[in-house]
Structure 1
Amino acid sequence: MLSRDVSAGNLIFSQGDGADCAYLIEQGEVDIFVERDGRRQPLTVLGAGEVFGEMGVIDGLPRSATARAHTDCSLVVVSAEQIQQVVARSDPFFAELMRKLVGRLRDTQSSLIAGRETVGQHSSDFGPGYAEVVRERDIAEAIISGEIEPYLQPIVDLGGRTVLGYETLARWKSETMGLMRPFDFLPLARRTGLIRRIDLTMADRAMAICARLGNRADAPFVSINVSAWLIQDRSLTATLARMMDQHGVAPGRICLEVTETMLIEDLDAAEEAMDDLRDLGIRLALDDFGTGLSSLSVLHRLPFDVIKVDGSLVQGCQTSARQRAVLRGILDLCGRLDMEVVAEGIEDVGTARALGDLGFTMGQGQHFAPPAQAEQAMAAWREEVP
């Protein structure tokens, strides 16, 4: 979402204009009025947290009133496309109900204009969706400004402790809110569709990092997280191919990590898209294996090359025979399916040794290194390379 600053006295839109967006008032006040028989009739004064201009977007009719900045205003612009996408995703009953309510509001407004000069009073009540709309705008601006950036965490050889690759993890370094982790902003990004822009932005920046790691035979690969929605997109292969060509990166250096497989609505589409990616030479990993977000049922349908075992199954394995039995079973299953296995969430040397004894060869976790900015992570790798 975009922001628009309007100085006091300036028009925001005029009665009769086409409606291509709605506005949420972040700061300031807005006068809403109509022109009738050559006279201006005030309707209301709106304050921070209130939305206006949405009726024409929903019903497709021209603006029914004029909006002018009463004071200097900061507005969040909500495009017609964004509103229509929300309406399209809603239950048809509620979508139709919304349109009927807008029609009644127009009728009520016309009646009130005919019978009185003012309707309503100034209100500064913040609507229930205010914070979410503002945060969505902030996320969109953070993507554009580069505040959302990839941090790197190494994936290591449990035998030699050498770095085999890096997983890229999105972090938001906000000027106002500090460093924000994925759970602070990705859930909203998924609900609003911004996750696609984040995924593709992170992929492009990960390709640039991969190119900077060099083309040596032992140069680390880069693993990129993609959402369940994006992995079903048949255009993803062409998009990634263009990125790799632009950055001069070989497909074999790239691995895509897919989580939330339960959210994949069309397994056929996902299978076709993943087959295209594998044909290109990109490897595919199933992330968070062993949690409710990934299922055994997808293993026989989707062509994964790598399984990443969730840390919840890894931590404490050195003291639990039952847990070690589960991990041996996973190794056996993946061996039969010709899949590589990475153990996630390794936080201490005891766990790392226990996993090595079980037969795990690759691992990742705080014990080796926490996620770090790309420059810091790559500098550490270069120091280790002879």
Structure 2
Amino acid sequence: MTENKNQNPDLGPDLGLQKPKLVVLAAGGTGGHIFPAAALAESLCAQNIGVRLITDKRGQAFSVNGSTIETHRIAAGSPNYRGIGVFGKLWTVCKLGIGSIQSFLLMLKLKPDVVVGFGGYAAAPTIFAAWVLRAPIIIHEQNAILGRTNRLFSRFAKFIATSFQNTESLDLNQFRKAVFTGNPVRSDIARIGDDGYPPASTDGKIRILITGGSQGAHIFSYVIPKAIELLPQSLRDKLVISQQCREEDKAEAIAAYAKMKVQAEVATFFTDVGKRLSESHLVIMRAGASTVAELTAAGRPSILVPYAHALDNHQMINARALADKNAAWLMPQDAFQPEALAARLESYLTLPDTLIQTARAAKSLGVRDAAQRLTRLVIKTHGINRDLLKNKDPQDDYGDNVLGGLPNEQAA
């Protein structure tokens, strides 16, 4: 594997390729799939490349430069969802069948030049339809282990774009297709890394950002206030806390911080999370793919508490990828107790150099231009496909290493 040097690649003219007219993004409806798709859409639109999104009913439409990306929602569901029973699983299979028909009709209508899949079961019907219609496919894996949908459809893809330099569960054929692009993040998040780690405030305040995923985490609302209460009063007086939590936990968390006289803002959702992240000295979060990508792009030290029931244990694998590089601290959920967290907080927050070094390590793993790298891969895939349709050997244009030429790729 080559080292990540955060190069800023050119996006196509140097390859001598005609840019695709239309790219379809296929993504599951959760933030971990939608956020990188939105970041890629922003980069593609900057290159005057048309974009359409195909997702399920959960998928939020997003805008680029004030214009909403045209979004199509299809029927989909996960047959592995816990507690749905036999009939629920049969209905899920039926929905995937309906979604396949919807995707096939959409693909016939749209005629995309390239299809990029971001995982999630909602992406499966579109990737299958693209394969049937011989549209070139890229799949993007956000986690440090190949997800089930991406694993299943990797055989159809021309490239597998990875977010980590070392991605687990790749077989030999998948490894040969793998290109390290990083996980695209929004441009406002990417810019945080350029500003550097925030210096200590003149008033000595230490800012902590706490989020628990798209819906908050109940265990955070229970453990963290209790851990803060165990800290010395002199340290508590310095804290400025921003905590996202569930609605049902909000009142109790607010009351706990008020009782301790700790400056805290508790909300179910922050609209200015980028600003809060840029000002934070420490972050406490889950270890989802988007979380990890944003932390490393921004270069912020963190305590990561992987969700214990994540599919294929992918959050634990993501967290270990950072912890092994001293770019974050890992606390498994069963060890996430008030006393243990308080001991860590007191240690980290009273040693500023430790926070600074961990921030630097996180930033060294960040890929702030991941959206541009993935855009270049889309353009290159379109060019290779056009050559193949003309019965022209892509090696005539790109040399022996058809997969090469991309910065920091995972070389086969």
TM-score grouping bracket, smaller chain normalisation: under 0.3
More strand by share: 1
Larger Rg: 1
Higher relative contact order (CA 8 A, sep 6+): 2
TM-score by length of 1: 0.26
